[in-house]
């Protein structure tokens, strides 16, 4: 279901649009209207008037849903204080050190008057799955424009809303995912704890290229560096070690992920509920107990007991992530 539309040449979320108002789908150009949440859908969303299922939405539905929920929370928290609040807002980066002329902020609120903490505005960027925008490079440009920035992950959202308290905690603790314009000098700082212990792209047949002090994969565009303290490689997919969008390393074709998700057998014993390579039962007995995988939600889940890993989108509808672990 769509969560972002276009009205009067601006991106909008369903909450901003009155009932029976027609908006344009940014992906297919079709007409859409808002629909109230239901017991199944939980949040207000758009629907295509032609009921066509051919529109893929360009990017994942879950990513757009999170952008929409972030904007909804910003509208609620800063009601009466903003001149603009919306999703996918294009910003002119001229006058900054950014290497690009324009950036599209996932979720943005611009204040009518300078905010005592966040300055000109606040941007929430949603990092989803294994690839996203480079945190240091993108953050620096936004800060130079006078915006505060928070980098959100799927664990910062419930089924129906963005957990604003996670943002507050990030800014109060000077997290490497939360920056004020006054934090410009610390952009790019990180600890080894901010890097990933597990390869976030294990399905990639990596082609590592040596850069200054770290390695960069020419295929999946992630970084890694060897830690002498931990005697292992640590991985970076958000640009702490260096840019993940490099012109000095040519992109090499990477074979697609072969999940075989629609298999109708597993070892000859009938239909499996998981993709090939993931057993139906935990090797320690009983069902898998799924939890978020990695330092930040990487779009995968791991079994707490046997460490089996699976893409969240491949989990059966009857199985949930246990956030208590």
Mean pLDDT check: name the lowest of 7-11, 56-60, 109-113, 148-152. 56-60
Task: Give kind and range of the element (H or E) at residue 10.
Answer: strand 10-12
Could you give the 3-state DSSP secondary structure of residue 116? coil
- Into how many domains does the chain fold? 4
Q: Is 56 inside any structural domain?
A: no
Mean pLDDT check: name the lowest of 112-121, 200-209, 270-279. 270-279
256-272: pLDDT as tens digits:
544 444 434 344 445 67
292's tokens: 């978020």
Asked whether residue 78 falls in the same domain as residue 179, the answer is: yes
- Look up the pTM and report it: 0.62
In sequence order, what E strands does 99-164 have? 102-115, 119-126, 147-152
**Which pLDDT score is estimated for 296?**
44
Asked whether residue 96 falls in the same domain as residue 163, the answer is: yes
Concatenate the DSSP letters of all residues of 21-73 into one string. --EE-TTT--EEEEE---TTT-S-EEEETT--S----SS-HHHHHHHHHHHHH
Asked whether residue 168 falls in the same domain as residue 99, the answer is: yes
Asked whether residue 182 falls in the same domain as residue 286, the answer is: no
Q: Is 53 inside any structural domain?
A: no
Asked whether residue 323 falls in the same domain as residue 276, the answer is: yes
Q: Is 244 inside any structural domain?
A: yes
Give the pairing type, strands 10-12 and 23-24: unpaired
Could you give the 3-state DSSP secondary structure of residue 91? strand
Q: Is 274 inside any structural domain?
A: yes
Mean pLDDT check: name the lowest of 21-30, 101-110, 124-133, 193-202. 124-133
Asked whether residue 270 falls in the same domain as residue 225, the answer is: no
Task: State which residues form the domain around 324.
Answer: 265-325
CATH code, domain with 150: 3.40.1350
Length of the chain: 325
- Last-in-domain residue among 241, 257, 273: 257
Asked whether residue 241 falls in the same domain as residue 276, the answer is: no
3's tokens: 């969560």
Contacts of residue 33, Cβ cutoff 8 Å, sequence gap at least 6: 17, 19, 20, 21, 22, 23, 46, 47, 49
Asked whether residue 68 falls in the same domain as residue 171, the answer is: yes
Q: Is 54 inside any structural domain?
A: no
> For the residues 101-121, what does the mean pLDDT come to?
96
31-85: pLDDT as tens digits:
888 888 766 566 788 888 886 566 655 567 788 889 999 999 999 999 999 999 9
Q: Is 33 inside any structural domain?
A: yes
More confident residue, 27 or 230: 230
Asked whether residue 239 falls in the same domain as residue 316, the answer is: no
Asked whether residue 314 falls in the same domain as residue 198, the answer is: no
Closest residue by Cα to residue 153 from 315, 314, 318, 312:
312
């Amino acid at each position: 279901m769509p969560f972002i539309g276009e009205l009067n040449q601006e991106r909008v979320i369903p909450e901003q649009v009155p009932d029976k108002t027609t908006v344009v789908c940014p992906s297919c150009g079709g007409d859409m209207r808002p629909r109230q949440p239901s017991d199944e859908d939980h949040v207000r969303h758009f629907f295509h008037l032609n009921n066509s299922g051919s529109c893929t939405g360009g990017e994942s539905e879950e990513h757009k849903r999170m952008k929409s929920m972030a904007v909804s929370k910003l509208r609620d928290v800063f009601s009466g204080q903003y001149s603009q609040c919306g999703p996918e807002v294009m910003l002119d980066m001229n006058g900054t050190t950014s290497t690009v002329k324009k950036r599209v902020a996932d979720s943005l609120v611009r204040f009518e008057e300078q905010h005592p903490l966040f300055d000109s505005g606040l941007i929430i960027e949603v990092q989803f799955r294994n690839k996203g925008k480079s945190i240091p490079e993108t953050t620096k440009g936004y800060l130079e424009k006078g915006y505060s920035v928070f980098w959100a992950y799927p664990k910062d959202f419930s089924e129906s809303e963005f957990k604003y308290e996670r943002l507050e905690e990030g800014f109060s603790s000077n997290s490497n995912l939360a920056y004020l314009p006054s934090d410009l000098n610390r952009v790019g700082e990180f600890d080894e704890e901010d890097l990933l212990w597990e390869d976030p792209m294990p399905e990639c047949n990596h082609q590592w290229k040596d850069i200054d002090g770290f390695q960069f994969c020419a295929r999946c565009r992630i970084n890694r560096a060897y830690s002498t303290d931990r005697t292992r490689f640590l991985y970076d997919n958000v640009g702490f070690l260096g840019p993940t969008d490099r012109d000095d390393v040519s992109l090499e074709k990477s074979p697609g992920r072969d999940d075989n998700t629609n298999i109708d057998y597993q070892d000859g014993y009938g239909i499996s509920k998981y993709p090939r390579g993931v057993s139906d039962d935990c090797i320690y007995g009983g069902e898998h107990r799924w939890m978020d995988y990695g330092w930040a939600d990487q779009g995968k889940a791991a079994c707490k007991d046997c460490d089996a890993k699976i893409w969240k989108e491949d989990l059966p509808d009857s199985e949930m992530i246990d956030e208590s672990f």
